[in-house]
Structure 1
């Protein structure tokens, strides 16, 4: 299949995983800034954020990250050489509003002005996530995060500044990164610290409702800007397969998929799906909606469905499963015996991308946008300076082929943004050794290194893919 000439080939990063400069030029703290590496207790801090708020772990990888804040021109020059047409990043809410509210920080605004100008200079379309696991920590401490409805208006104040300032520079916007993650990692997804004796489901689903209302109003605001802005939603995707043809396994997969799609159903279709009532009943959730919320959701659906895909997932209740699990991007999944698996426990399933794209497009009939897909691996720099990451080439090639097959199935897809164009701090583990980029960054798990950038073998391969618009992939 030949892709349209306007297909958006590119790469993706997140502010809190690459920028560094965590308190520079007036920036406030965000959740990533108080999370250590996995070796120091990252999962403890992520799932029990009360510890992260009180404990000094010593080293925090986001504080310096890869220093994109000071090196973005150098990095974008490399990405221009790579040939990317679209560059996805996020705006750090705490860099614009250090306390999450009040007056915007002009130094932060100027940084993103310069960043987007540099993108345009190098013929790259910015794709911007408004909130990428980046609710200012000040809003956690003052309001309790997204569990408090007050954050809707604070988020909209933030959006208003962004659309007014960057509306002529940025066309593609994403309201929340992987919104379905709020039920799995509520501190990252919603800036919330939940006590053990509280009804977690009640809090996270109420917080998600606040985000859904905020998202819908942000879509409305974007459309009213008159700049032709497109606003999309985003989910952490990967269809659940049933472990076997046992009807109970099949139903378990159906329920898991419904859990993943619930919030996107609202953003794309404008209302909660019928199965939401069952989920709320099972989880003892009584959703508090204000007058007008349903109309806001109904009148402001998103323009496109953005999603991350790393692997499919597996669900079932069969007795022979034996508790074997894999990394499902913070979502519980069983180990699929038919798939290879990375050293970090993530399963590799290119066909799953085709299946997931068909599931999403059949469900929503809106354009899709792959904004994250990539392989985390331990890359080795050889004595001659080469980095021979053939495994990343194979992974990316097979997933692009699966994407093209889905498009032959009739799926409309706006673009493919690899995660990532450059090495950065892993969100899940806080590591640098788990590398995703086509560009190597000389920094290790302890923050040592020169920060020198080096092109990997995959850089030159992806360069040819883009030059040929997906025709040359050998």
Structure 2
């Protein structure tokens, strides 16, 4: 008799969608909100990007210019898609799709406008009370990211963000305020979004102005990362004390990397790049710096300044699950003269076996199965895919419909591989597609790069009615959730 493994998702699998406050909410100056680092990210038209895939870095000169109001650039994230005033409408649409979970972040500057106030802003706390209550009304579990690529801009100006150890206590004040206020409403938490972004953008990942750093960018990146590790561990400790039944996780951008060839040097280079990626959950899930990073620090002359209790704090307060985003895979290739194009988020090496999106991101569903298996084999800890989706140009037809078969194909192929990974034995908690409604792009601050199941009438310049329209993918995803992934 041949045994066959039934490819199904577990009962109670958490289907939903994921967003970030700075890309979604808008109302950047409403009800006492302060300015965040994301509010300083300008829109740069494609023809003016000089080939850059990412336009979210800001230096101190630009920051002061933007704050003075002397610049005529447009800041799309300040307006988002007006979820702040339309959250009831949007959550009703999420409920119509059957969401079991909705991932959102809480804007630090709505709660502490400059980050250093003695008391939180009640209007900001009340807004999130209303959002969480609306989710719970429909039986949708909130998954809250405490820090998602934003922080009070005043903390960048005063401390240069996470370069300073001062940030740990300020972050904990923010986190504890959220725990105290929402402990009866939120079970699932993530301490930091894609913490390994620190190695790609100091400003995005840490609110750090690179032209003001003390040391090399790499030295500062790892020192800031250490500060975030300590802050995350202390938040896990406090969160568990206040909410014994809570599940608190870490998150990375998973950069699955393939060797360019079977040449041993390429394989070794790929392994090293993978270690740089896995280093983040390594510390947060296992509670210690891995030996390969100790060697790397020594060879690169990187010396971390640690507090006397830091190692014990990290060791004793590990996370409950590992969350990650997955969009694409990369190629690792050894070059004795320059490895800057190999692997990681800015790789220029193309995989000839994969198609790419309009934005040049390789499409690799099987890579998701590989990533799930590798992470689970390594950590034996529940996994949660909290970002995956296709950025594309969508067109509204004359009759008001939006046909996006390319998005359905993309998500179907990835969900099929998720199902295979579950059959492999991976413990997968859920899947939140990025983003369920069209929002401002993180990397380029444009509106035209759309991910949603819901079309929002707004262009790159902020023009439009903001009317919401269900795309074809809306009805498809509703069917996926209703069948628990059986009907794809």
TM normalised by structure 2 equals 0.93
Out of 392, 404, 408, the residue aligned to residue 423 of structure 2 is 408
Show the counterpart of 1:31.
37
Show the counterpart of 2:185.
169
- Provide, for residues 326-354 of structure 1, a one-character-per-residue CA deviation record: whole Å limited to 9, x for no partner: 9x6x4435211110011111010000000
Out of 296, 316, 320, the residue aligned to residue 279 of structure 1 is 296
Counterparts of 2:292 and 2:236, CA distance in 1: 25
Q: Is the 8 A contact 1:35 1:52 kept in 2?
A: no
Out of 349, 362, 383, the residue aligned to residue 334 of structure 1 is 349
- Provide, for residues 94-141 of structure 1, a one-character-per-residue CA deviation record: whole Å limited to 9, x for no partner: 110001122210000000000000000011000000000112111111
Shift of 1:75: 0.2
The answer to whether the aligner puts 1:160 opposite 2:176 as a matched pair is yes
Shift of 1:282: 3.5
The answer to whether the aligner puts 1:376 opposite 2:391 as a matched pair is yes
Shift of 1:57: 4.5
Q: Secondary structure at the match of 2:94?
A: helix
Please give the residue correspondences for 1:75-474 in structure 2 after superposition, counting only pairs within 5 Å. 75-102=90-117, 103-195=119-211, 198-317=215-334, 330-332=345-347, 334-473=349-488
- Provide, for residues 360-417 of structure 1, a one-character-per-residue CA deviation record: whole Å limited to 9, x for no partner: 1111110000000000000011111111100000000000001111111111000010
Counterparts of 1:239 and 1:57, CA distance in 2: 40
Counterparts of 2:175 and 2:340, CA distance in 1: 44
Q: Is the 8 A contact 2:321 2:381 kept in 1?
A: yes
Q: Secondary structure at the match of 2:56?
A: helix
195-204 vs 420-429, which deviates more? 195-204
Shift of 1:443: 0.3
Q: Secondary structure at the match of 2:250?
A: strand
Q: Secondary structure at the match of 2:422?
A: helix
Equivalent residue pairs, number: 470
Counterparts of 1:5 and 1:155, CA distance in 2: 36
The answer to whether the aligner puts 1:50 opposite 2:66 as a matched pair is no
Counterparts of 2:335 and 2:280, CA distance in 1: 28
Unaligned runs of 5+ in 2: 1-6, 66-70
Distance 1:208 1:323, change over 3 A: closer
264-273 vs 280-289, which deviates more? 280-289
Q: Is the 8 A contact 2:334 2:342 kept in 1?
A: no
Q: Secondary structure at the match of 2:463?
A: coil
Once superposed, what is the RMSD of the aligned Cα atoms?
1.9
Counterparts of 1:427 and 1:226, CA distance in 2: 31
Q: Is the 8 A contact 1:45 1:51 kept in 2?
A: no
Counterparts of 1:275 and 1:323, CA distance in 2: 20
Unaligned runs of 5+ in 1: none
Counterparts of 2:270 and 2:342, CA distance in 1: 15
Counterparts of 1:355 and 1:382, CA distance in 2: 38
Distance 1:413 1:58, change over 3 A: same
TM normalised by structure 1 equals 0.96
Counterparts of 2:390 and 2:305, CA distance in 1: 40
Q: Is the 8 A contact 2:8 2:422 kept in 1?
A: no
Shift of 1:51: 4.1
